Structure 1
Amino acid sequence: MWIHVVSAHPNFTLEAELRVLVERNPHWRFTIGDEPPADAGYQVLIASRPTRELLSASPRLTTVQLPFSGVPAVTREVMADFPHLELRSLHHNAGPTAELALGLVLAAARGIVPADTGMRSGDWTSRFVPPRPTMLLDGHGATVVGYGEIGRRVARGLAALGMRVRATRASVTSAYTDGDVEVRPADALTELLPDSRVLVLTVPASPATTGLIGEAELALLPVPATLVNVSRATVVDEKALYEKLRGGDLAAGLDVWWDEAIEPDAVHGVPASAYPFHELPNVVLSPHRGGAFSLPESAVLRAAHLEKALAEIASGK
């Protein structure tokens, strides 16, 4: 199997992963570059933002493999003109992202950051007057929006905390049970929100999910409640979320933002939002690190998942 790799990406390269793949799979042919190789005959293209030239250069191309989960809008647009090609994403970061999501749930729901800040100056107020809003999770309802690789892990974690967990998934048409989790169609979300003390967003960005959580949906949440977003910022209406949080009845843990630093050498002075979320004590701010680019294990995980994905493609799965 011939695999062509476009390795350039703002947040990572694939050099370490490719060394592993080449060493372990000498029967596969790898070529690398932003331009198609001469006499292109690759069957698989690994690229985050494939160009039309790369997609049309090889008559043998059957599959485009993204090196991460989620499809960039520019990739979705160009792939629409190549309906015969299979598009696959990678879920090596599902575990790290789910771990961060659960951490944000606990930090936001229990006011851990304000309590930590107070303790650093010798202030024990949070022991006797908890930061607002602080809430118990055990026995209460939780909803995970998006029941893919990340959502399933988050749902299991919330169930382990004693929560009654429901999830919505766009690809299902009727409810079913997966262990301790009740899975519903996506259009059941508004029915679930009034009983969702915790709402975790793990859906991919798409036209269908843009603005999915707006003023009306936020108004349906009980008091108090916690919202955690590890998907994409555009899933939530920016102004509506800020205004709801400013009211004090909602806590939030946010790992994704409407504006983000994308270059490792330009990380200062980048505003995350047009609104001052950083001034709100009931928000835990995280700089889009759920995908764990900086974790030592990241390259190992990506290599293992890429190898598995390529083996499936080679076997016709």
Structure 2
Amino acid sequence: MKGLAVGDLFIPKERMAELFGNEGVREFVTEILMVEFECKDRDDVRRKIRNMEANGPDSEPAPSDLKRFIGDADILAVHLCPVSRSILERANKLRVVCTARGGVDNIDMAALNERLIPVINTPHHNTNAVTEYVVGLMIAETRNIARSHFALRNGTWRERYPNTEFIPELSGSKIGILGFGQIGRAVAKKLKPFDVEILVYDPYVNKETVQESGYRSVDLGTLLRESDIVSLHVRLTDSTRGMIGEEELRTMKPSSYIINTARAGLIDLNALVRALKENWISGAAIDVYEEEPAPLHHPLFTLDNVTVTNHRAGDTRNAYWNAPVLMGKQLAMLLRGQKPRFVVNPEVLE
């Protein structure tokens, strides 16, 4: 079997090719081909991804070497590179596609489904990166780290902050985890050494599972009323869009904080801005926006009781470079005739 690794700005092709050296994979792969998907810089990456999200993988040109090599490849491994129908029409031997991302906006899933070709993805590649960042935002917002830094850089030794009279420590706090999926569980685990009480709301996870992990399973209202910090880890769907609105924010304690590294649409922006201006809650830390890059006049950017960052939570070298290893474990299962845990289109394996 031949493996084709396509690298890019974040995962060099040599690193991507390490997928084929994983135990359980290298026994099957006799030749490795490598291609680079050229991106000038991060701005170029963002433009290309946004274009493919809006217009599909055919909207971005694939590397010429990919067109040349794809006909011989049994396994294709990509990260950002477009995998369009026109490319797949050349892939006469292709048996599986592996992507170092959770999403598949750069891959023509319809074309692969027609040919019953499975797609292995890695939605867990940045779990640790995000969880570390969430804890960092909790501390940065509650302890005024960003505000103090900004003041000093601008020549001010600042002594008073929006929460000066009640600056908290994490120790002894109640942390509400809204969504107990992979990242929500990892955040809860990461917080254990801080001696906090974890409250969990997730209607799709049974109470016993939460309790066995050492946490309290509660309804949404209880979580909002009792938590000192609420952290969102929920998928954005029609049912979750705007799930934190005026009613929910008014339910929270005036001394509480809300953290969002998940999706912007989970929180009603207008309600959040009002909550921060009128001190329904003490503060917020926000890493995601409905429009990205966010406009410079974004209403959150003028408020003193919010820490804002530009979608950085999952952005570490480890998150990118570990993805080929994670993909390799899933691919090894497939090659041994087992069903991988992370397959975008599991129905093609039935």
Which category of TM-score, normalised to the shorter sequence, fits these structures? 0.7 to 0.9
SS at match of 1:165: strand
Specify the alignment match of 1:292 in structure 2: 315
Distance 1:17 1:281, change over 3 A: same
Give the count of matched residue pairs. 298
Specify the alignment match of 2:328 in structure 1: 307
Specify the alignment match of 2:284 in structure 1: 252
Counterpart Cα distance in 2 of 1:44 and 1:172: 35
* Cα shift at 1:155: 0.8
* Cα shift at 1:160: 2.5
Counterpart Cα distance in 2 of 1:80 and 1:214: 40
Distance 1:21 1:208, change over 3 A: same
Q: Deviations over 1:124-152 (max 9, x none)?
A: 5249x954773344333211122233222
Q: Is 1:271 equivalent to 2:275 in the alignment?
A: no
Q: Which moved more, 1:161-170 or 1:283-292?
A: 161-170
* Cα shift at 1:239: 1.9
Higher Rg:
2
Counterpart Cα distance in 2 of 1:168 and 1:79: 35
Distance 1:43 1:224, change over 3 A: same
Q: 1:52-201 counterparts in 2 under 5 A? A: 65-69=98-102, 71=103, 74=105, 82=113, 85=118, 88-119=121-152, 121=155, 123=157, 125-126=159-160, 130-131=163-164, 134-169=167-202, 171-176=204-209, 177-183=211-217, 188-201=219-232
Q: Is 1:222 equivalent to 2:226 in the alignment?
A: no
* Cα shift at 1:14: 4.8
Which amino acid letter does the alignment assign opposite residue 248 of structure 2?
E
Distance 1:253 1:130, change over 3 A: closer
1:139–1:162 CA contact under 8 A, matched in 2: yes
Counterpart Cα distance in 1 of 2:112 and 2:321: 33
Which amino acid letter does the alignment assign opposite residue 108 of structure 1?
E
RMSD between superposed Cα atoms in Å? 3.8
SS at match of 1:125: coil
Instruction: Give the structure-2-normalised TM-score.
Output: 0.68
Specify the alignment match of 2:28 in structure 1: 27
Unaligned 5+ runs, structure 1:
262-269
Which amino acid letter does the alignment assign opposite residue 202 of structure 1?
H
Distance 1:30 1:226, change over 3 A: farther
2:236–2:265 CA contact under 8 A, matched in 1: yes
Q: Which moved more, 1:118-127 or 1:199-208?
A: 118-127
Distance 1:64 1:206, change over 3 A: farther
Which amino acid letter does the alignment assign opposite residue 21 of structure 1?
L
1:44–1:61 CA contact under 8 A, matched in 2: yes
SS at match of 2:257: strand
Unaligned 5+ runs, structure 2:
36-61, 341-350
2:286–2:307 CA contact under 8 A, matched in 1: yes
Which amino acid letter does the alignment assign opposite residue 271 of structure 1?
P
SS at match of 2:322: helix
Higher relative contact order (CA 8 A, sep 6+): 2
Taking every aligned residue pair, what percent have the same amino acid on both sides? 22
Instruction: Give the structure-1-normalised TM-score.
Output: 0.74
SS at match of 2:230: strand
